[in-house]
Each structure stands twice: as structure tokens, then as C-alpha cells.
Amino acid sequence: MQAFSFSSAPLEPGRYHAGIEDPAAGGYASFEGWVRDHNEGRTVERLEYEAFESLAVKEGERIVAEAVAKFGVTRAACVHRVGSLAIGDLAVWVGVSSAHRGEAFAACRYIIDEVKHRVPIWKKEHYTDGDSGWVNCERCAAAAHAHEHAHLHATGDFASHGHEHAAAVQHDYSRQIALPEVGRAGQAKLAAASVLVVGAGGLGVPVLQYLAAAGIGRIGIVDGDVIEASNLHRQPLYGIADVGRPKVAVAAERLHALNSDVRIETHETKATVENVDGLVKNFDLVVECTDNFRAKFLVSDAVVRALKPAVFASVHQYEGQVQVYRPLPHWPCLRCLWPEAPRDGMVGNCAEAGVLGPVPATLGALQAMQVLKRLLGLDAGEAPALVTVDLLSLETRRLIARRNPACDHDQPGEPAGVEGTSAPLELEFATLAEAFESGLELVDIRETWERMHDPPGLQIPTHLPLSALVNGYLQFPTEGRYLIVCAHGVRSLSVTEQLRAQGLAEVFSLKGGLAALRS
């Protein structure tokens, strides 16, 4: 059976039992969570569970795998109900088989505790007085009467133990409501607003934190990456224990803990040509926080099409740029400013570029501020501009920008180019040895300093540093079959695209770069 699954039909523990039987197991421990008839002093008649299934299943599977590894049990599984449940119905089932009972009990306890804390499931209670409400996890009792809001929260209390309601503290917006320009009306505008944040990295983290803290009603997060240890210095929303987990899942947990008034939607994917319009159309405003031109222009074109305001930012070493887009006739989009959409890797934005954490943090905080200004209407009379910030000299500059008449906002995007061959741009290899055996000549385009720590025997003899190619010191051969290699596959893809455009047919990029290879 699947390690973690949802069921819209009543749970059948007898049937799941067979799924975890094993000749090596000497016993079995199980936990059943039931719907009880009261919560926070109100009589509950029935309730509904809803889950973001794709995200929730992944997180559930991770928890079960953790339990198996941690306690060394034989098999484990968990099934959670979704849909409408009556009092006494089974809400969740956990089963663990093991050689010894101690590990079975411990693993069972671990799974139910972690599922309650980490798996995004919403619970709507229907009370006997006819009222109903999306309720919070049991820790935040005070929010239980916030009926209009749906909350991302841990699974409810199954009466397995008494829960301490230490302090029924509600999120308090008084220090922003106190501003005459905000007031209660402004706070209500924020609560009614929805904002899509594309990218949950160095820029996205402060954007998400300040928007959630401010009480934006609904926040969507788009990011397909998992947390890496090298992210933490500029993305302190995450911790060392989160390494390897999807950014969207951890961000949703932390933001929910920060302010459970906010409904968080997660999209564990990068923005693509296929999904960007669907994502953008469901939000009032978009904040672009990725680290690549491809995504920035994709989002710019999508907001121009959808007539949505957006806030863009990017950083380079000690400086950054912020640009607000509004769907007004005289307002420039990203393409108005940069008619030749730059290619990733060509203007010094390689994945390895160094940066100090406060630089994206400052630019991200500026983006969050532009969002609040727009939603609160505090930007009246503001002319379109690109704002540059230099964190070394502490200089900022507001450069007035205008709509480019050559940029067609009725049909935004690059003019449909002539696609060359249908050959894929990227190739995947498991090891460097396999890549060498492909018959393609490997060309390392990393900078010299990046090659210094390559292990002996894993060096690529042909080396044409990207900086030298861009500067024109070195020329790429005009014929031959090549596999272009860099650290993460970003720069190599852009070089490959350019060489293809120059007519070199058999040139490919190593997908994911050296980081994706098994050593």
C-alpha cells in the first residue's frame, strides 16, 4: 500500500492491516483519530477535511519514510480522510509493523504527531447552532471564530491527549492600523487581497514574511526548489534541519506559524510558459522574486496579458533594482525597459555569484513595501521608474522609465522566433564518465576559480571560461559535437542556445550541471 494517501470514502483499517503485514514483523501498532463532538466549547455536528493533495501526499510520504528510517520498523503507512465526516467517523489511520513493539509504538506516535504538524490539511467544523468555520490547529484557539478565513493548519485534535491552550493570542495589526493612511479600512483591504509570490529565495523570503505578517488575505507561493545549505545565509526563514525539503512546504509552515489569518497556497513548481497564466489570473498582484531572466520575462508578459500589477526586483552583488508595473497605458513593462531580453548567464548573473544576505533582504523588503503601497493606494501620482539601490554607498536612484512604443502590450512576449531543430537543448547523464562516453566533446565553461576544487580524475580537459567567451577573448569552434558543462546548468544552457542560433547543430547543455551528477 502507499505510505501516505487520502481517502474520500470511509477508512477501512481491516483492509489496510494486510498492507503492512510482513513475515519479519513480530507485532503491529496502530493509531486511529476520530471526529469528536466538541471543540473550543462548541458542539460540533460534522466536519470537512480538505487538503492540497499533491503537496500533502509528498509531505506525508516523507514523514512515513522518516519514521521507518528513524525507528527501524518493518513497514508503516498512514491514510487520512478528506470530505465530509460525521461524529465518530475515522479521520486518520496510522499502522506500523515491526520486529519489536517499542519501535512500533514510537514510530506510530511519531507519524501521527508529524502529520498533525506538517501536512497541510484544512478542517471546517459545522456546529449544532448552524454556524460553521474553518478552524485552526488546536494551538491557536483564538482564531477559531475567524469564520471567513480558510486556514492552512495541522490536522485537528483527536482527543488523544489534553492540549494546553497556553495563551489565546490573536494576530494584532494595531501598529499598522494606527497609521492614518492605513486604519481599519486599509487593514480590511489587505485582508481582502491576494498576492502571488514567484520565487521563495533571497528576495521571496522577506516578501513572504512581511506580507504574511501584514495580514494579506491569501498568498500564493511558486517555487520548485528544495532548500540547500548554501541558501540559508540569505533565506533565514529556513533552518539547517529543513535542508532537502521543498521551499514551498517549509515556507507555508513558517508563515502559518507567523500568522494563521493568512491563507497560504503552495505551488511546488517553477513558473513555466504552460502554468504562468493560470497562476497569475487567480491573484490581485504578483511579486517576482526569482533569480533568472527567463522567469522574470515570463512573469512580466503574463501580468501584461492579465492586466495585473506586479513588483520586480533583482540583485547583483551589493546592489539591486526594483521596478513596479501597473496595467496602465503609459506604464512600461520589463520588456519596454529591456527590449533585448537578456539571456541567463550572459550578464554576470551566474548561479555562483556571491551575495551578502542583507542585499536581497533589503530589496525584498522594498518589494513588500511596494505591494502594501499599491494595495493601500499610497502610490498615487508615482511615476514609473527603475529604482537602483547600492548597499555599499547607500545611494538610491530613481530613474524615470517610459513605455516603449515598440513593445506591444496587446500581444506581449517575444515575437514568435523561428525554432531551429527539434533536438533537445539539454542532455541528462548520471555520471561524468557516462558523459565522456557519449561521444560528445565536453567543454567546461566555468571560471578558472570554480575548477580549483574539482577532484582529481574528474576534470574536464577542454576549458573555455564563459567570461572569456563573452569578452571575445576566446571563440567557440564553429563545428564539432559538444556537451557544454557548468556548475548548475544555467550558463551552459544559455551558451548552448546561442551556439544553436549560430548554426552549431550538435551542441547540448549538461542538464543540472555538475551538481546534478552522481560522484
Partner 1 sequence: MNRIEIQYFAVLRERAGTGRETVETAAATAAELYDELATRHDFGLPRGMLRVAVNDEFADWSRPLAAGDRVVFIPPVAGG
Residues near 358 by Cβ (< 8 Å), separated by ≥ 6?
391
The distance of closest approach from Cβ of residue 149 to partner 1 in the complex, given in angstroms and rounded to an integer, is 30
Site membership for partner 1, residue 301 (CB under 8 A): no
The distance of closest approach from Cβ of residue 415 to Zn ion in the complex, given in angstroms and rounded to an integer, is 13
The distance of closest approach from Cβ of residue 471 to partner 1 in the complex, given in angstroms and rounded to an integer, is 4
Cα 405 to chain centroid distance, Å, stands at: 35
* Sign for the pseudo-dihedral over CA of 503, 506, 507, 512: positive
The distance of closest approach from Cβ of residue 214 to partner 1 in the complex, given in angstroms and rounded to an integer, is 21
Nearer to partner 1, 428 or 497 (CB): 497
Residues 182 to 201 in contact with partner 1, rule: CB under 8 A: 199, 201
Nearer to partner 1, 106 or 196 (CB): 196
Residues 356 to 385 in contact with partner 1, rule: CB under 8 A: 360
Phi, psi of 153 (to 5 degrees): -155, 170
Q: Which of 24, 12, 39, 3 is nearest to 73 (CA)?
A: 24
Site membership for partner 1, residue 156 (CB under 8 A): no
Residues forming beta bridges with residue 77, ordered by sequence position: 95
Site membership for partner 1, residue 7 (CB under 8 A): no
CB 196 within 8 A of CB 323: no
Distances (CA, A) of 260 to 135, 169, 207, 263, 392: 10, 11, 17, 7, 37
Nearer to partner 1, 261 or 291 (CB): 291
Stretch that binds partner 1, among 119-127, 141-149, 315-323, 476-484 (CB under 8 A): 315-323
Q: Which residues bind Zn ion (CB under 5 A)?
A: 333, 335-336, 407
Nearer to partner 1, 190 or 315 (CB): 315
The distance of closest approach from Cβ of residue 103 to partner 1 in the complex, given in angstroms and rounded to an integer, is 44
The distance of closest approach from Cβ of residue 225 to partner 1 in the complex, given in angstroms and rounded to an integer, is 12
CB 265 within 8 A of CB 255: no
Site membership for partner 1, residue 412 (CB under 8 A): no
Residues forming beta bridges with residue 396, ordered by sequence position: 389
Nearer to Zn ion, 58 or 403 (CB): 403
Binding-site member from 68, 203, 299, 484 for partner 1 (CB under 8 A): 203
Nearer to Zn ion, 232 or 407 (CB): 407
Q: Which residue has the cell 544576505?
A: 357
Cα 303 to chain centroid distance, Å, stands at: 19
Vertex 98: Cα angle to 93 and 103 (nearest 5): 85
For 161, the grid coordinates are: 491527549
For 128, the grid coordinates are: 449544532
Phi, psi of 66 (to 5 degrees): -60, -45
Binding-site member from 421, 472, 478, 519 for partner 1 (CB under 8 A): 472
Site membership for partner 1, residue 346 (CB under 8 A): yes
The distance of closest approach from Cβ of residue 241 to partner 1 in the complex, given in angstroms and rounded to an integer, is 24
Residues near 179 by Cβ (< 8 Å), separated by ≥ 6?
186
Query: Element (H or E) spanning 27, and its range?
Result: strand 27-34
The distance of closest approach from Cβ of residue 318 to partner 1 in the complex, given in angstroms and rounded to an integer, is 9
Site membership for partner 1, residue 475 (CB under 8 A): no
Site membership for partner 1, residue 471 (CB under 8 A): yes
What's the longest Cα–Cα distance across the chain?
78
The distance of closest approach from Cβ of residue 295 to partner 1 in the complex, given in angstroms and rounded to an integer, is 9
Nearer to Zn ion, 206 or 309 (CB): 309
Binding-site member from 38, 101, 397, 481 for partner 1 (CB under 8 A): 397
CB atoms within 10 A of CB 54: 12
Distances (CA, A) of 330 to 281, 312, 327, 333, 403: 22, 18, 9, 10, 6
Site membership for partner 1, residue 204 (CB under 8 A): yes
Site membership for partner 1, residue 296 (CB under 8 A): yes
Nearer to partner 1, 68 or 359 (CB): 359
CA distance 294 to 290: 9
Q: Which of 59, 136, 57, 47 is nearest to 83 (CA)?
A: 47
Nearer to partner 1, 380 or 392 (CB): 392
The distance of closest approach from Cβ of residue 403 to Zn ion in the complex, given in angstroms and rounded to an integer, is 7
Binding-site member from 72, 244, 348, 480 for partner 1 (CB under 8 A): 348
Vertex 464: Cα angle to 458 and 470 (nearest 5): 140
Residues 272 to 291 in contact with partner 1, rule: CB under 8 A: 289-291
Stretch that binds partner 1, among 79-87, 139-147, 178-186, 395-403 (CB under 8 A): 395-403
Residues near 97 by Cβ (< 8 Å), separated by ≥ 6?
20, 21, 22, 25, 27, 28, 73, 74, 75, 76, 104
List of residues contacting partner 1 (CB under 8 A): 199, 201-204, 289-293, 296, 313-317, 319-321, 337-338, 340, 342, 344, 346-349, 353, 355, 360, 386, 388, 390, 392-393, 397-402, 470-472
